[in-house]
A and B are shown apart, each in its own frame.
Chain A
Amino acid sequence: MKTAALVGILLLPFLSLVAEETPTITIRKGEGVNLSLQSIGGADGAAVSKVLKNDLELAAWFSMVDAGKGGYVVSGNTTGGVLEGKVVDRGGSTVLSKTYRGSARDNAHHFTNDIVETLTGNKGMATSKIAFVSTHSGKKEIYMADYDGANVNQLTRDGVISVSPALSPDARKLAYTGYQSGYADIYLIELGSGARNRIVKFPGTNSGASFSPDGGRIAAMVSKDGNPELYVISLGIMGAHRLTHSRGAESSPSWSPDGKEIVYCSDDAGSPQLYRIPSGGGNPSRVQTGHNYCTEPDWSPDGKRIAFNVRGGGGFSIAILDTQNGSTRVVGSGNAENPTWGPDSRHILYSNGSGLILLDVPTGHTTNIVSGLGKVTEPTWSR
């Protein structure tokens, strides 16, 4: 009896702590924060409403409910490129009130990101950009679009083979592999000015560029030493530092969000497997996945997961490795190649061969983002 009372006293602080934290945890897991969207008033109201509705639905953190059914209420007014956005809670208190200046689409995207950040504490994806390879023109060329597939824009007109695009985290630069010289070289486009430079042109094949989180370096496959190896190349001074030393073929580097490590694919052990290596040089370590064919790793921006391709069951599917507990699970179904994480570390974009699919990892919900552009492959996503 005395012991039971003691245990009760000891447990009491824990119980109250759990009770206090529960609402926060519920919101962050995104089990549906109730949200109703009032139609946006003003001259550009319809255009903003349409984009806002799509953004909030794709974000997947919210359960969209009818007005008056509780939850947070999103409202706004827009004219002449100015959007006054507002969110009030069920008690009528304003939790977000902000003015946005820009196009209807940009204003809606920025407002969405603020809503996501305010109500869930997570980074939004609504202002991000994607790039991909399309055969629409008859040759493989690089295209760009908004994250939702709008504003598709053909970036290269090389007429040769332009592949393996990589957007810098800030979406200001794009690196890709082009064959204009007859060999595979890495080109860098400054998206603001359109200036393009061939930045990696060693003898042999140069491909698979991946930007460091600070955007100042790229990791890539370079074969100048007589074998495909990974290098880290500084964009400012153009120094190239060799990372791997194996007799196999390395490919597809992806940086950890702190920039300290790189995950990549190597077939040095016979079949393609994932390895991690310090980005400043050091010994690689094999990533245990439970799959014997793993390619195209992509490290999530929050560092917690690595998405990659696995082979099996007659096709290629996407697997996700939890970097904290080491477990791996296969997500999605059908032909799914080249997974790339969105800025929210919740969504993955992948190619099903003919188009790009947005996958919401927690729910498994998929949305067609790009289609009707021939063969669409190798997506990349800014932060």
Chain B
Amino acid sequence: MKNLLTLLCVVSLAFTVSCANKKKNQYAGVDGDYVNGTPLADRTEGSSFFSDHVAKGEYAPVYFGFDSFTVSENEMGTIDKVASALKGTSKTIIVAGFTDERGTEEYNRSLGERRAEAVRQALIGKGVSAGKIQTVSFGKEMPADSGSGDAAWAKNRRVEFGVVK
């Protein structure tokens, strides 16, 4: 019995190590079949983020560092709040990514989408069904603060939540 446990430990340890290696290689952008997360669910169109069908401002935005798409520990309170609200209902949510004004438009569209997907992944990690979340990126369009400078930029690097009514 003890031997079997030891064997299991060794096997699982080896498995963990090989997984870690594999992940590291794939993270480096090498070709493979690594899927970065859960594929998005089919869209339900007709509920644009900026339409009256979508309630915005029910939850605080999630903010990001310059050029970053990492959801920081400080933001997990917001993620928990949105996750627990979604788990209790059949409502769906649109997660919209935004950036500050610095940098070229298309790079910021991609970065905004990456932020939205990071928040989506965090929600899925808290048990929200992937089918309830859609993402969209507006890049540097529609800043929360139209000013320039560190204070405005910090407010604009965000992900907003829109609850589909």
* Chain A residues proximal to chain B, CB less than 8 Å: 133, 140, 161, 163-164, 177, 179, 181-184, 201-205, 207-208, 221, 223-229, 244-252, 265-268, 271-272, 275, 281-284, 295-296, 309, 311, 316, 337-338, 377-378
Contact yes or no, B107 A272, CB < 8 A? yes
- Stretch from B12-20, B24-32, B83-91, B151-159 contacting the other chain: B24-32
* Chain B residues proximal to chain A, CB less than 8 Å: 26-43, 45-51, 67, 69, 94, 102-107, 109-114, 116-117, 120-121, 134-138, 141
Contact yes or no, A183 B107, CB < 8 A? no
Contact yes or no, B34 A183, CB < 8 A? no
Given A184-B136, A228-B113, A296-B107, A284 contacting B37 (CB threshold 8 A)? no
Determine the residue in chain B with the shortest Cβ distance to A201.
B43
Chain B residues lying within 8 Å of A205, measured Cβ to Cβ, are 109-110, 112-113, 116, 135-137
Given A203-B41, A225-B35, A271-B67, A252 contacting B107 (CB threshold 8 A)? yes
Chain A residues lying within 8 Å of B32, measured Cβ to Cβ, are 245
Chain A residues lying within 8 Å of B36, measured Cβ to Cβ, are 225-227, 229, 245-247
Q: How far is the CB of A356 from chain B (nearest CB, A)?
A: 14
Query: How far apart sit A311 and B66, CA to CA, in the bound complex (Å)?
Result: 13
Contact yes or no, A226 B43, CB < 8 A? no
Chain A to chain B: the 7 pairs with minimum beta-carbon distance, closest first: A182-B48, A226-B37, A251-B110, A203-B40, A227-B36, A249-B114, A246-B29
Contact yes or no, A227 B37, CB < 8 A? yes
Number of A-B residue pairs with CB-CB distance less than 8 Å in the complex they form: 165
Chain B residues lying within 8 Å of A337, measured Cβ to Cβ, are 104-105
Query: How far apart sit A140 and B109, CA to CA, in the bound complex (Å)?
Result: 15
Q: How far is the CB of B68 from chain A (nearest CB, A)?
A: 9
Query: How far apart sit A309 and B26, CA to CA, in the bound complex (Å)?
Result: 27
Contact yes or no, A284 B106, CB < 8 A? no
Contact yes or no, A316 B103, CB < 8 A? yes
Determine the residue in chain A with the shortest Cβ distance to B111.
A249
Query: How far apart sit A204 and B116, CA to CA, in the bound complex (Å)?
Result: 9
Contact yes or no, B109 A164, CB < 8 A? yes
Chain A residues lying within 8 Å of B112, measured Cβ to Cβ, are 205
Q: How far is the CB of B149 from chain A (nearest CB, A)?
A: 13
22 A-B residue pairings within 8 Å (CB atoms): A133-B105, A177-B109, A181-B48, A183-B45, A205-B112, A208-B106, A208-B109, A223-B117, A223-B135, A224-B39, A226-B120, A245-B30, A245-B31, A245-B32, A249-B113, A249-B114, A265-B107, A272-B107, A275-B29, A295-B104, A296-B104, A337-B104
Q: How far is the CB of B26 from chain A (nearest CB, A)?
A: 7
Chain A residues lying within 8 Å of B67, measured Cβ to Cβ, are 267, 271-272
Given A203-B42, A203-B43, A245-B34, A184 contacting B109 (CB threshold 8 A)? yes
